[in-house]
Amino acid sequence: MCSRERVCCSFCGSANVAKMSLFGTAQLVSQYYCKQCKSVFEWVRWRSESNIAGTRDEGKAI
Ligand SMILES: [Zn+2]
């Protein structure tokens, strides 16, 4: 299952992902590769307050 601590694919929800590198200069965003659907997605750190809106709503259950 996805959680704030565990990264999972934003496309298929799989946790079978590999971290690639930091995305540009924004250290809040990391780039991951999903081995399941072979897609690259960006993961935004949850704890950090930033001007990136729209991602925190997904964690409201916790
Ligand atoms: Zn995937």
Tell me what the mean pLDDT of segment 6-14 comes to. Answer: 91
Tell me what the mean pLDDT of segment 7-23 comes to. Answer: 87
Mean pLDDT of all residues in the chain?
75
Distances (CA, A) of 3 to 15, 25, 28, 31, 58: 10, 24, 16, 17, 10
Please tell me the distance between residue 22's alpha carbon and the centre of ligand 1 in angstroms.
19
Q: What is the pTM of this model?
A: 0.60
Interatomic CA distance for residues 33 and 3, integer angstroms? 17
Please tell me the distance between residue 50's alpha carbon and the centre of ligand 1 in angstroms.
25
Place of tokens 């924004």: 26
Please tell me the distance between residue 58's alpha carbon and the centre of ligand 1 in angstroms.
17
Which pLDDT score is estimated for 13? 93
Per-domain boundaries in the chain: 1-46
Tell me what the mean pLDDT of segment 13-29 comes to. Answer: 77
Looking at the chain, which runs of residues are DSSP E strands?
17-22, 29-34, 40-44
Q: Tell me, what amino acid is at 60?
A: K
Give per-residue pLDDT as tens, 39-54: 999 888 765 444 445 5
